[in-house]
C-alpha cells in the first residue's frame, strides 16, 4: 500500500513545504494540497514540485465549478510538467456551502459535469483539436450557442509529459462513486470503515467497474484514516471526533447531509441523529461527545503497532490501496515519526 498525506499550511506554507521534504525522506508517497476557501492549491503544488524529487503531488481537491474544463486540463498538464510527471488531478464537487456561498456559482449536476470535465481533460492532454458538445459544456461556441461564431477548435500548444494524467474523484453518493469506478484512476471516499465499505459502496463500485475501460487499470482507493501508532494512545480518538461531528452534524441540513447518511448506513443512525440535533442547535461540544468511540476508532489507525497492523490488513482487504493518513502529533517531527512507523508496517 502507498502512503499519502494532506498538508495543512494555515500556519505558514514555507514551513509546511520543509516538512514535506522530511516526510518524503520518511517514505511518504503522495502529498495532497487542499483547496476549500483557502489559498489556491495550484500555487502550493507548483512550489512543492520545485522542492521535492520523488513524492507524487495531488490536488485534494480542485472543485469542478471553479474552473472551466479546459483550464482544469491546462493546469493539470502544467503541474505534471513542472513535477516531471508526478501530478494527480484530484477533482470533487465540494458542496453548496462553498460553491454557492464563497464562489457565487450555482451548485448543480455534479455527476454530469464531472464526466464531461474528465472527457475534455483527456482530449486536451492528447492534444486533440478540441470539439466537445455536451449538456453542460460546449467548445467551441457557435452563434447558435450564443457565441460570436469566431471560435475554432484548438489544441494545446504544449506537449504534455503524459497524455493520461491520473484523475482521482472524491465521491460519496452512490451515483458519484459509480462514476469514479467507471472513469477515474482513483476514488477517494471519506470516513472509510473497512468492515462496512462493501455494504455501503460495493454495488456502486461494481456498477462502475462493469463499464470501466481496461486501459484505466485497477481502481485506486484512497482511504483517509487518522494515524497515531503507539501505546496508550486511545485518548487521541478525541482528535478524530470533532471532525466527525462537524461533517455528520454540520455539513448540511436535516435530510440533506451526505455524511449523516453515511454514518446511518454504517449502523450509527440514532447516534448520527443525536450528533446532528446537537450540532444544529449550536451545542458543538455535546455533538463531539456524542460521537461513539467505536466509530472514531473504526475509521482510524490509532493504537499499538500490532493493532494498527491488523487494521491496515482490514483496510487492504476492503479494497484500499492508499492510506491517505492524518498523523496526530504535537509537531512536524512527530508527524514524520508517525509516517516512518507506518512505513514499517505497510
Dump pLDDT digits (tens) for 253-280: 888 898 999 999 999 999 999 999 999 9
Q: Is 178 in the same domain as 160?
A: yes
Backbone angles phi, psi at 342, to 5 degrees: -65, -40
Q: Residue 10: what pLDDT?
A: 75
Domain that holds residue 65: 2-228+301-344
Q: Residue 152: what pLDDT?
A: 95
Q: Is 125 in the same domain as 208?
A: yes
Sign of CA dihedral 203, 205, 206, 211: positive
DSSP for 116-142, written as a single string: HHHHHHHHHHTT----EE-SS-EES--
| Residue showing cell 454540520 | 250
Q: Is 323 in the same domain as 263?
A: no
- For residues 300 and 342, what is the distance between their CA atoms, to the nearest angstrom? 13
Q: Residue 267: what pLDDT?
A: 97
199: CB partners within 8 A, 6+ apart: 265
Reference 195, options 113, 49, 295; nearest CA is: 295
Q: Is 170 in the same domain as 41?
A: yes
Q: Is 164 in the same domain as 293?
A: no
Reference 248, options 233, 267, 262, 235; nearest CA is: 262
Task: Please give the C-alpha separations between residue 95 and each of 63, 66, 259, 328, in angstroms, as whole numbers.
Answer: 9, 12, 12, 27
User: Are the beta carbons of 20 and 51 closer than 8 angstroms?
Assistant: yes
31: β partners: 5, 57
Reference 169, options 203, 216, 124, 215; nearest CA is: 216
50: CB partners within 8 A, 6+ apart: 82
**155 grid coordinates:** 489544441
Q: Residue 207: what pLDDT?
A: 98
Q: Is 254 in the same domain as 337?
A: no
| Residue showing cell 469514479 | 180
Q: Is 198 in the same domain as 328?
A: yes
Q: Is 323 in the same domain as 277?
A: no
DSSP for 182-235, written as a single string: HH-SEEE-SS--HHHHHHHHHHHHHHHHHT--GGG-SPEEEE--EEEESSS-GG
Q: Residue 177: what pLDDT?
A: 97
| Residue showing cell 493504537 | 303
Alpha carbon 207 to its chain centroid, in Å, reads 21
- For residues 235 and 242, what is the distance between their CA atoms, to the nearest angstrom? 13
Q: Is 97 in the same domain as 183?
A: yes
Q: Is 106 in the same domain as 125?
A: yes
Q: Is 275 in the same domain as 330?
A: no
Per-10-residue mean pLDDT, the chain, length 346? 91 90 97 93 97 97 97 98 98 91 96 98 98 97 95 97 98 96 97 97 98 97 98 96 96 87 97 97 98 98 98 98 97 97 97
Q: Give the CATH number, domain containing residue 164.
A: 3.20.20.30
Q: Is 143 in the same domain as 286?
A: no
Domain count, the chain: 2
Amino acid at each position: 500500500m502507498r502512503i499519502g498525506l494532506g498538508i495543512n499550511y494555515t500556519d505558514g506554507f514555507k514551513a509546511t513545504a520543509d516538512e514535506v521534504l522530511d516526510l518524503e525522506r520518511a517514505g511518504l508517497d503522495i502529498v495532497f494540497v487542499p483547496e476549500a476557501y483557502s489559498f489556491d492549491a495550484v500555487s502550493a503544488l507548483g512550489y512543492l514540485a520545485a522542492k521535492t524529487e520523488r513524492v507524487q503531488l495531488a490536488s485534494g481537491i480542485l472543485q469542478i465549478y471553479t474552473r472551466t474544463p479546459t483550464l482544469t486540463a491546462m493546469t493539470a498538464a502544467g503541474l505534471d510538467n513542472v513535477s516531471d510527471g508526478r501530478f494527480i488531478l484530484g477533482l470533487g464537487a465540494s458542496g453548496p456551502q462553498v460553491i454557492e456561498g464563497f464562489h457565487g456559482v450555482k451548485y448543480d449536476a455534479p455527476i454530469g459535469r464531472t464526466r464531461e470535465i474528465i472527457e475534455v481533460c483527456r482530449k486536451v492532454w492528447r492534444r486533440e483539436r478540441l470539439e466537445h458538445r455536451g449538456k453542460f459544456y460546449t467548445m467551441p461556441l457557435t452563434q447558435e450557442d450564443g457565441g460570436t461564431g469566431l471560435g475554432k477548435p484548438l489544441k494545446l500548444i504544449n506537449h504534455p509529459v503524459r497524455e493520461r494524467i491520473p484523475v482521482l474523484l472524491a465521491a460519496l453518493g452512490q451515483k458519484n462513486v459509480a462514476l469514479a469506478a467507471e472513469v477515474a484512476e482513483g476514488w477517494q471516499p471519506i470516513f472509510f470503515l473497512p468492515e462496512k465499505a462493501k455494504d455501503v459502496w460495493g454495488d456502486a463500485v461494481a456498477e462502475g467497474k462493469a463499464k470501466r475501460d481496461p486501459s484505466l487499470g485497477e481502481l485506486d482507493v484512497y482511504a483517509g484514516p487518522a494515524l497515531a501508532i503507539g501505546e496508550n494512545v486511545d485518548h487521541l480518538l478525541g482528535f478524530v471526533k470533532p471532525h466527525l461531528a462537524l461533517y455528520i452534524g454540520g455539513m448540511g441540513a436535516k435530510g440533506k447531509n451526505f455524511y449523516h447518511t453515511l454514518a446511518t448506513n454504517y449502523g450509527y443512525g440514532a447516534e448520527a441523529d443525536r450528533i446532528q440535533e446537537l450540532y444544529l442547535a449550536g451545542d458543538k461540544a455535546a455533538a463531539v461527545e456524542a460521537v461513539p468511540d467505536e466509530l472514531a476508532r473504526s475509521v482510524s489507525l490509532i493504537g499499538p503497532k500490532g493493532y494498527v497492523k491488523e487494521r491496515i490488513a482490514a483496510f487492504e482487504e476492503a479494497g484500499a490501496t492508499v492510506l491517505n493518513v492524518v498523523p496526530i502529533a504535537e509537531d512536524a517531527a512527530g508527524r514524520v515519526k508517525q509516517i516512518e512507523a507506518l512505513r514499517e508496517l505497510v
